[in-house]
Amino acid sequence: MYNRKESERLHRRKLMKTKLIAVDLDGTLLNDKQEISVKTREALQKASRLGIKIVPCSGRPFPGIKEYLDQLDLQDPNQYVVAFNGALVLNAQGNAVVEELLSYQDFLFFEKIAQQLKANFHIEVSDKFITLDHFINYYLSRESWLTRMSIEVCGFKDIAKDLKFTKAMFSGAPSEMERVYRHLPKEVIEKYNVSTSDKTLIEINSKQASKGNALKELAQKLNLRQDEIMIFGDQKNDISMFDVPDFYKVAMGNAVLEIKKRANYVTRTNNEDGIAYAIRRLIFNE
């Protein structure tokens, strides 16, 4: 018979050695108003004071993450973030310590697919979006606002052949993204890391770039064991973290089923201080 209290007691014993907490942003750290709640901020700051590293892990670029670092008082150069779904790991000053980038040839490949599928396509570099589309749809505009990054519309001849970029993206209405995803060539799925953070975006990274791989590399740099890491997430672009066997995996109450099935623990939703609830119960023993 399942005993919730006994299960949580065993979890707490294991998690006394937690040295790093990795948190997704949208739908996890942030509530639906795009805010860190007071209880969540206080719980993470308390963990930080106890010497536990707090690492935001997001599909967002660094400019779209930095304000939340500031809110959590994580400005020290020895604090880190995982950005662009794992294409970059940076310190709190924005200096990259891990890079898994795409190239000009990748850009040509995806631009051709976009034309074939008649899909809105753009790429992300470190500080802006670049697109050949002269029509900027609502979904890219919203992403620009959320990430605090500008949109640059270029002609094909303006794209440098030594281009390096973090992520390719298709954007559109949910039904449109379902159509695009169904018709992506098999080669895309095989050669790249394809994920979604919501139903209006398809995000494509280098095969080596994922939140899970980025956290594993960061753990090596920090001399941490994988069983000393706790993760929080809610969406399919968090699956790579939830597939690392020794991470302690906490799914938000609002998480998709694929995340909940992989979790060690399911907490409350992002609108119910889910991170704070789990940390207080599992780490602080409150």
Catalytic residues: 24
Tokens representing 88? 């970059």
* 3-class DSSP assignment, residue 85: helix
Tokens representing 80? 């880190």
Tokens representing 103? 């190239």
Question: What's the N-to-C CA distance of the chain in angstroms?
Answer: 25
* 57-to-13, 25, 28, 167, 197 alpha-carbon distances in Å: 26, 7, 10, 15, 12
Which residues on neighbouring strands pair with residue 130, listed in sequence order? 123, 152
Place of tokens 């794209």: 159
**How far apart are the C-alpha atoms of 228 and 218, rounded to whole Å?**
12
* 3-class DSSP assignment, residue 33: coil
**How far apart are the C-alpha atoms of 24 and 216, rounded to whole Å?**
15
Q: What interhelical angle do 138-147 and 63-71 show, nearest 10?
A: 40
CB of 86 closer than 8 Å to CB of 240: yes
CB of 184 closer than 8 Å to CB of 194: yes
Which residues on neighbouring strands pair with residue 128, listed in sequence order? 150
Pairing of strands 120-124, 167-171: antiparallel
